[in-house]
Chains A and B, each alone.
Chain A
Amino acid sequence: MTLLAVDDITVNYGRLTALRGVTLRIAEGEVLFVTGPNGAGKSTLLNAIAGVVPAGSGSITMDGAKVTGASPEDIARRGFSLVPEGRNVFGALSIEENLKVGAGMRADRHKIAGDLESVYAEFPMLADRRHDAAGMLSGGQQQMLVIGRALMTAPRIMAIDEPSLGLAPKIIDQVYEILVRLRTQRKLTLLIVEQSSTRAMMTGGRMILIRGGRIVLEGLAADMIKDERLKQAYFGFGDH
């Protein structure tokens, strides 16, 4: 069943149009990989769904309820957890406090302690340093922390913006291993935005290619990777 439906949304930053009529569906338990060149509107798409930037037109529906124009906190409370680009840990807070902020809104408070332990089991490095300031972690560790923090919200959909940005290839592999594991073990619905499409294969889901604020290509990641048009979209030749 469709968990998230985005219908024909546009987003304008002043006179600049970042998204021009994007429509997509994410079913429960699915992985959707969004890729495209720099400035295509990928992050804008995530921010619009999260309620951080307002959609100029179109509608967003989560689990059957219309959330267009809702505040970021209300959308988060409906189960959409965005891990934004640049990681955004609360640097002055400890690792454990970062995780607890993620759980703050939950109604099932008795389950929080158990979830905290399961995040620590998933990321043992976080457990070792749970009382250290999050700002002192390395980039890769911060990426683990924000994924863990998003898990603490008990999300129905987890969206991640550029999880590999600024990380060493080895760390990127680790991050994707974790994402794939979360998907297989927890049946987590994932929406991953990544400029490089090479990782899409690992996640084994659908993929959309955005360029100039529009979806230009859509299909199974395994098929799309072989598609010549994917390369064309990046290098800019061909019609657009």
Chain B
Amino acid sequence: MTAVLQIIFDALSLGSLYALGALGIALIFGVMRLVNFAHGDFIAFCVFAMLWPSIDATAVVFAGMLPFYLLIPLLLIIGAALSILSEIIVFRRFRNANPATMMIASFALGFVIRHLLLMLYSSRPKSITLWPGLGLPVDFLGAHIPMLQVVTIVITLAALAVLVLFLKRTRYGLEMRAAADNFTMARMLGVRANGVILLAFAISGMLAAAIGLILATISGTADINMGANVMLIAFIATVIGGLGSVPGAVAGGFIIGAASVVFQATLPHDARVFRDAFVYGAVIVVLLVRPQGLFAPKSAKQRV
């Protein structure tokens, strides 16, 4: 029983991380058909923003020293600002380009951000300690669950709830969903293209900052490549969920998280090192059966 609980919490917390990442990608894909591969580097940038630029091995924590009620909003603002700047400086020029061109532009932007961090901080991973108290376990029905896992899950659920409320209940959320459905039609109804896209980038950037905070707390390190792995899996999650579908992205994130954890727990010992191969194998099977993704909205198809 306790082992099962442990697995459930592992799956939920890992899934949360992927779901937050997938959401950041799905929102932008929805409004401008851009798969933003720089998203992972946004995550790394937000983590390094807590450190003072230096190439020493020991990190000089700077903004990271702030109390959480200042640090969290600050990082969210940094994430949103970076994301908005990327749209204004880079992606706006590619607005009418084909999706492959936009994707390559996002790769290029990702490299620029990564190498900027490399110049300022060197390639050595740095240790960074945020909120050590979160590493302590809490007892839950006999299982020892790290506090951080609980916090990750709660943060993700709260972020999801806020996002759903925003998308369903506010005028701007409605406009964003309309624009994701049919961008030109939304504009012909007076929805401002730049406004919707900037909003999507801002939210996506804040999600990147949230992932950065969680990752830095879990791993205790700041690594230039730390966002790339999450980004890759989050992208796969959006594809499994059905590209462009917001609920699909969240579900895809949790499914991949759960698959990783379950394979880790149930595969024979010798096979565990190949866990990712099993996860990606499952992804291939899913896509063979449903190439459009699990949650591609049926209602979105045109009826004639």
Contacts and interface: CB of A to CB of B under 8 A. Distances in A.
A104 B170 CA distance: 10
A139 B304 contact: yes
A164 to B, nearest CB: 13
Nearest to A90: B181
Given A97-B174, A101-B186, A137 B181 contact: no
Interface stretch (A29-37, A75-83, A210-218): A75-83
A90 B183 CA distance: 10
A125 to B, nearest CB: 15
B177 interface: yes
Given A81-B188, A90-B182, A104-B171, 15 more contacts: A52-B187, A72-B187, A72-B188, A76-B188, A91-B301, A92-B297, A92-B300, A93-B174, A101-B186, A133-B299, A135-B299, A135-B302, A136-B299, A142-B303, A153-B189
B175 interface: yes
Q: Which of B187, B190, B299, B302 has the most CB of A within 10 A?
A: B190
Contacts of A135: 297-303
Interface residues of A, number: 34
Contact of A93 (B171, B181, B187, B303): B181
Q: Ordered nearest first, which 6 A-B pairs have the shortest CB separation?
A: A105-B190, A135-B299, A133-B299, A72-B187, A76-B190, A90-B181
A50 interface: yes
Interface size bracket, B side: 20 to 34
Contacts of B175: 101, 104
A124 interface: no
Interface of B: 171, 174-175, 177-178, 181-182, 184-193, 297-304
Interface string A128-160: 000001111111001000000100010000000
A84 B185 contact: yes
B177 A73 contact: no
Nearest to A97: B174
A88 interface: yes
Contact of B303 (A81, A138, A149): A138
A77 B186 CA distance: 12
Nearest to B178: A101
B188 A93 contact: no
B184 A52 contact: yes
A100 B191 CA distance: 12
Nearest to A167: B304
A86 interface: yes
A149 B193 CA distance: 19
B299 A92 contact: yes
B191 A105 contact: yes
B187 A88 contact: no
A105 B191 CA distance: 7
A102 interface: yes
Contact of B184 (A72, A105, A136, A149): A72
B190 A92 contact: no
B251 to A, nearest CB: 15
A166 interface: yes
A2 interface: no
B189 A76 contact: yes
A71 interface: yes
Q: Which of A71, A73, A133, A153 has the most CB of B within 10 A?
A: A73
Contact of B188 (A50, A97, A138, A142): A50
Given A84-B185, A92-B181, A93-B181, A153 B190 contact: yes
B304 A166 contact: yes
Contacts of A92: 177, 181, 297, 299-300
Contacts of B186: 90, 101
A215 B138 CA distance: 78
B188 A84 contact: yes
B303 A88 contact: no
A93 B189 CA distance: 15
Q: Which of A52, A92, A97, A139 has the most CB of B within 10 A?
A: A92
Interface string A51-87: 0100000000000000000011100110001101010
Contacts of A166: 304
Contacts of A91: 181, 297, 299-302
Given A72-B184, A92-B300, A142-B303, A102 B189 contact: yes
